[in-house]
């Protein structure tokens, strides 16, 4: 008599969970996927609102260095990325009928920039594979831990078994996300459930996040939180374009990059700030604040800026002079008036130096639920080489619930997919053994 296929449960319907499910299905296992939301891939779809950034085209040797905390995360993720990295992800998308292209920033997108067509094609493959049984999806099922007999427990608001439900499987993949965007299902509730089973978990923290500013008022000398009413009212939501950020923390770690970011009502956010967010966040934790320097004109040397600032301006106002000579106006001009004293604005060499390095002091991280992703989670040391929890045999972890973080730009998506595949392969080896 033919043996029944081994059964595997995947909990979490994001990229990592779906990739684990695909890997297990392709290996011939019977797969049930549970998710607390009404449909899967909700954060995946949100990530694709402005164009789905699947991965990045930079060389893999450089790609691997984008992950922290180093060296643990880089060492653990490196073999996963070599096995299923940027090139393999492009091939995988193509197998779903989705061609990709490389943008000017080196980021890789679907040709139509949309997430929904790729997700639809992926779910069709999972539900209706060419051979074998497809993945069974169980929506509106919130995982609540384990029963005394070892079966998984859920609360559900759908089907004939509303309320408590149990489910048994030969192995489990947890792909429950981090702690940001709770309304999309990633609420970090799994932390307590794993800690109850003796699994250590590093505290979840905001990553790729915004910050609140704090500064000494140029007029009164008092310490202020947030921007002035004048600046906030006029410039909140406006971008700083073609600028650069430089920051060195108290441990000597440095960040320097060009890009853009946005002024918020009381602080800063956006891609360039997100890229520096790990260093800024950790420095605030250590020292209570962090000060980065904003170069308003990164394509001009200090000598060139000084020459233009000190050029005779005749009867023109300083603002008109800076606009005429350096094209400094709008939010770039406003930040100088916001953060520099009148004496500094009047001292032209000091003003030129400030244009190349406006000090912006951040004193608080925005709440974790506003962050694009989270740091912290299950440490690599709590798992074996195949992503199985050493204290809970048969349970594997993948995706953002692991203790790693990375900037936006395709790194988050790539590592989630690669770790989902690795967890799936780990289950294959475990059940075969």
pLDDT digits (tens, 9 = 90+) for 98-124: 999 999 999 999 999 999 999 999 999
Q: Which of 2-11, 13-22, 283-292 has the lowest mean pLDDT?
A: 2-11
Q: Residue 270: is its pLDDT beyond 60?
A: yes
230-261, pLDDT tens digit by residue? 999 999 999 999 999 999 999 999 999 999 99
Cα torsion 260, 341, 222, 358 to 10°: value is 20
For β-strands 163-167 and 152-156, DSSP reports them as antiparallel
Q: Using pLDDT thresholds of 50, 70 and 90, give the confidence band for residue 182.
A: confident
Using DSSP's 3-state secondary structure scheme, residue 20 falls into helix
Judge whether residue 24 has pLDDT over 90: yes
Which DSSP state fits 311?
Answer: S
- pLDDT reported for residue 216: 62
Stretch 136-155: mean pLDDT: 96
pLDDT at 96 over 90: yes
pLDDT confidence of residue 162: 66
Confidence of residue 183 (pLDDT cuts 50, 70, 90): confident
**pLDDT of res. 225:** 82
Cα–Cα distance for residue pair 427/433, rounded to 1 Å: 10
Q: Is pLDDT at 158 greater than 70 in this prediction?
A: no
**∠ CA(251), CA(254), CA(255), 5° rounding?**
145
Mean pLDDT of 259-267: 96
Over 70: is that where the pLDDT of 125 sits?
Answer: yes
In the chain the domains, ranked by start, together with CATH numbers, are: 7-207+374-432 (3.50.50.60), 211-365 (no CATH)
337-379 tens-digit pLDDT: 999 999 999 999 999 999 999 999 999 999 999 999 999 999 9
Neighbours of 3 (CB within 10 A): 5
CA 62/CA 76 separation, integer angstroms: 15
Instruction: Tell me which residue has tokens 């600028």.
Output: 243
Contacts of 30 (CB under 8 A, 6+ apart): 4, 5, 6, 7, 8, 133
Residue 245 and residue 303 in contact, taking contact as beta carbons nearer than 8 Å = no
Q: Is 23 helix (H, G, I), strand (E, B) or coil?
A: helix
Asked if pLDDT for residue 165 goes beyond 70, the answer is: yes
- For position 369, what pLDDT does the model report? 92
- Largest Cα–Cα distance of the chain, in whole Å? 97
Distance between CA atoms of residues 339 and 395, nearest Å: 52
pLDDT at residue 6, as a whole number: 87
Structure tokens at 384: 């074996």
Mean pLDDT of 284-313: 96
pLDDT tens figures, 365-415 = 999 999 999 999 999 999 999 999 999 999 999 999 999 999 999 999 999
Confidence band of 161 (pLDDT split at 50, 70, 90): low
Residue in this structure with the two tokens 């991280």, named with its chain if needed? 365
pLDDT at position 8 is 98
pLDDT of residue 3: 64
Whether residue 159 has pLDDT greater than 60: no
pLDDT bucket at 184, cuts 50 / 70 / 90: confident
What's the mean pLDDT in 329-335?
96
Place of tokens 């070892």: 150
Q: How confident is the model over 206-236, as pLDDT tens digits?
A: 999 999 999 765 566 666 789 999 999 999 9
Distance of alpha carbon 97 from alpha carbon 313, whole angstroms:
60
Mean of all residue pLDDT scores within the chain: 93
Helical axes 318-326 vs 302-309, angle rounded to 10°: 140
* pTM attached to this predicted model: 0.91
pLDDT of residue 160: 57
Q: Of 324, 317, 325, 326, give the one whose Cα is nearest residue 345.
A: 317
In this structure, are strands 254-263 and 267-269 parallel, antiparallel, or unpaired?
A: antiparallel
Helix residue ranges, H only, 267-410:
271-287, 302-309, 318-326, 330-339, 342-346, 348-355
- As beta bridge partners, residue 361 has 291
Lowest mean pLDDT among 4-18, 42-56, 168-182: 42-56
């Amino acid at each position: 008599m033919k043996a029944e296929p081994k059964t595997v449960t995947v909990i979490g319907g994001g990229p990592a969970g779906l990739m684990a499910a695909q890997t297990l299905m392709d290996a011939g296992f019977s797969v049930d996927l549970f998710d607390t939301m009404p449909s899967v891939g909700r954060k995946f779809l949100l990530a694709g609102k402005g164009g789905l950034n699947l991965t990045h085209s930079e060389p893999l040797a450089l790609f691997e260095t984008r992950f922290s905390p180093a060296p643990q995360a880089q060492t653990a993720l490196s073999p996963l990325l070599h096995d299923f990295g940027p090139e393999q992800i492009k091939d995988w998308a193509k197998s779903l009928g989705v061609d990709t292209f490389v943008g000017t920033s080196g980021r890789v997108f679907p040709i139509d920039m949309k997430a929904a067509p790729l997700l639809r094609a992926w779910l069709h493959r999972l539900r209706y594979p060419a051979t074998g049984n497809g993945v069974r999806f169980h929506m509106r099922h919130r995982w609540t831990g384990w029963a005394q007999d070892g079966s998984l427990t859920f609360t559900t608001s759908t089907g004939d078994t509303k309320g408590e439900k149990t489910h048994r499987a030969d192995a489990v993949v947890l792909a429950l996300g981090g702690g940001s965007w709770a309304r999309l299902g990633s609420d970090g509730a799994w932390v307590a459930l794993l800690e109850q089973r003796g699994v250590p978990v590093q505290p979840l923290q905001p990553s790729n996040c915004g910050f609140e500013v704090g500064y000494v008022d140029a007029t009164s000398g008092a310490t202020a939180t947030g921007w002035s009413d004048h600046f906030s009212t006029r410039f909140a939501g406006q971008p700083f374009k073609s600028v650069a950020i430089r920051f060195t923390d108290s441990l000597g770690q440095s960040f320097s990059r060009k890009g853009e970011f946005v002024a918020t009502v009381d602080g800063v956010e956006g891609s360039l700030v997100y890229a520096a967010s790990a260093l800024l966040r950790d420095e605030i934790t250590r020292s209570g604040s962090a000060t980065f320097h904003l170069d308003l004109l990164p394509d001009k040397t200090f000598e060139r800026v000084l020459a233009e600032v000190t050029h005779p301006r005749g009867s023109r106002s300083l603002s008109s002079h800076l606009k005429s000579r350096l094209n400094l106006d709008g939010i770039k001009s406003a930040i100088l008036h916001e953060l520099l004293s009148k004496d500094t604005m009047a001292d032209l060499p000091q003003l030129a130096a400030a244009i190349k390095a406006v000090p912006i002091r951040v004193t608080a991280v925005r709440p974790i639920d506003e962050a694009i992703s989270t740091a912290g989670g299950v440490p690599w040391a709590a798992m074996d080489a195949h992503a199985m929890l050493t204290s809970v045999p048969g349970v594997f972890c993948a995706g953002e619930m692991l203790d790693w973080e990375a900037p936006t730009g395709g790194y988050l998506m790539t590592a989630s997919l690669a770790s989902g595949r690795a967890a799936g392969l780990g289950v294959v080896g475990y059940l075969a053994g």
